[in-house]
Amino acid sequence: MWGMTSRPSTSPRTEHRFTVGFDLDLTLVDSRPGIRASYEALVAATGVPIDVDLVISRLGPPLLTELRNWFPEEKVQEANALYLAGYPSHGIEPSPAMPGARESMAAVRELGGRAIVVTAKYVRNARLHLEHLEMEPDELIGDLWAENKALALREHGASVYVGDHVGDVLGARKAGALAVAVPTGPYGVEELRAAGADVVLPGGLTDFPAWLRSHVASYAAESAPAVRPSV
């Protein structure tokens, strides 16, 4: 069984040559249909009007951050509990893998690396998405957003982090990892570059396997010891 934790483990894994981290929502999983259905169920349960289209247009930050836009503070935790309880029924089945997601994780392993998922999502629901789509990361770390993602990236020795949000770029840079961005979420290519992404893949994860092979080959060539001429 693959390892899954809600917070970084106490000791990094070092048996592989490198580790690549992936964000979940709109990077590996197109969770928009499931999130839409879950918010619609929350509206039905609470009677609180929520502009679901607006919510879907700005996915990325933690659930509590979004709920505070629609509920008074004394009702936020109750709304959060209702949403999370209903998510397995409403959010998982409608949400497909993003194009290239499975191939990207496979490419990491083919090159001898580890693929981990670091997400702001509640870890139980993140796990359900991955299990439903039969994607098995080496580790799953949830409940981390933006710069706080660096905690898990450092702990697990990630040298690359892939995400769709400017918060993912911030987390990668704080961790000292290469920030690889995909414009499959709320931000376009130029916005991700302006946010400090080291690499932006215009085609999303469909571009990632070829980029990773090139990146690993270049790193290997740079790290190879110089050959001295025979005397």
Region 137-143: mean pLDDT is: 97
Residue 214 neighbours by CB distance under 10 Å = 10
Alpha-carbon separation of residue 72 from 58, 81, 132 (angstroms) = 20, 15, 34
Instruction: Please give the Cα distance from 121 to 142 (Å, whole number).
Output: 6
Instruction: Please give the Cα distance from 225 to 222 (Å, whole number).
Output: 8
| Highest CATH level, class, for 32-90 | mainly alpha
Give pLDDT, residue 1.
27
Boundaries of every domain in the chain: 19-30+96-223, 32-90
pLDDT, one tens digit per residue, over 181-201 is 999 999 999 999 999 999 999
pLDDT, one tens digit per residue, over 82-138 is 999 999 999 999 999 999 999 999 999 999 999 999 999 999 999 999 999 999 999
At the fourth CATH level, the homologous superfamily of domain 19-30+96-223 is HAD superfamily/HAD-like (3.40.50.1000)
With a cut of 70, say whether residue 16 has pLDDT above it: no
Out of 13-22, 51-60, 81-90, 188-197, pick the least confident. 13-22
Region 149-173: mean pLDDT is: 98
Q: What is the CA radius of gyration of the chain?
A: 19
Give pLDDT, residue 226.
47
Give pLDDT, residue 223.
66
Give pLDDT, residue 94.
98
